Copies of this chain bind each other. A is one copy, B any other.
């Protein structure tokens, strides 16, 4: 079983860590390949970054889609996740949704501890569109940039500890989702200090991706996630062009 974990930003240190975490939690039958697009922002902290990262992310699914059994969208915000599901029948798991499902099975409520305050709205919209707003006690931001989650691990732990403690004590959170792929691997250290489970979102997505493959399930092609309508995409390379009509549900 081969799973492609795509880091939608272009910081390779983060990609490497994502691969390690996904590999750690999946079974021996799984081979994880972690990649970044060539084009796009070095980190995703605004809606702007988010949208500029999506074309590269989609290319990473398209270009060797036949070689993998499932894909991981490794940015909390699950950028372009709906489009990812349009361009492949293989299961696609976002680390935001994945970590929320895991958290929702471990505590009566969860909070998300994440990066800069400006991302709060993006994070909350992700929770809303995933469908779990009623279980989310709060989104707690820090002063961390995405890059700092990789390069300043001690500061990251400290900031996340503070945010998570507030989430538990003031918002009633019973589990914490780590709201950035760069935080992969910090859960264990944080659990030493916190009275609640801390979810490594990359790990959560990895075990879910493996599970979906085990179940033998494919993405629904009946309506929303049908292949994109064939048409000209001006100024984009061939890998982005869809030229054949999607089969109708009646075929």
A residues near B, CB below 8 A? 10, 25-27, 29, 38-43, 45-52, 54-56, 58, 80, 82-83, 86-87, 91-93, 97, 101-102, 104-109, 116-118, 120-122, 125, 128-135, 145, 168, 172, 174-175, 195-197, 199-200, 203-204, 207-208, 210-212, 214-215, 217-226, 228-229, 231-236, 240, 242, 249
Contact = CB atoms under 8 A, between A and B. Distances in A.
Contacts of A196: 220, 222
The number of times this chain is found in the oligomer is 6
A211 B217 CA distance: 16
Q: Which 7 A-B pairs have the closest CB atoms?
A: A39-B235, A207-B211, A107-B220, A108-B224, A47-B82, A48-B228, A131-B135
Contacts of A174: 220, 222-225
A107 B58 contact: no
Contacts of A131: 104, 131-135
Nearest to A97: B105
Contact of A118 (B55, B200, B204, B226): B226
A168 B196 CA distance: 30
Nearest to A10: B234
A102 B184 CA distance: 23
20 contacts: A10-B232, A26-B214, A40-B233, A41-B234, A45-B229, A45-B231, A51-B55, A52-B240, A92-B105, A97-B104, A102-B212, A108-B121, A120-B224, A128-B128, A133-B134, A168-B222, A174-B222, A207-B210, A207-B215, A208-B208
A176 B54 CA distance: 29
Contacts of A107: 219-220, 222-225
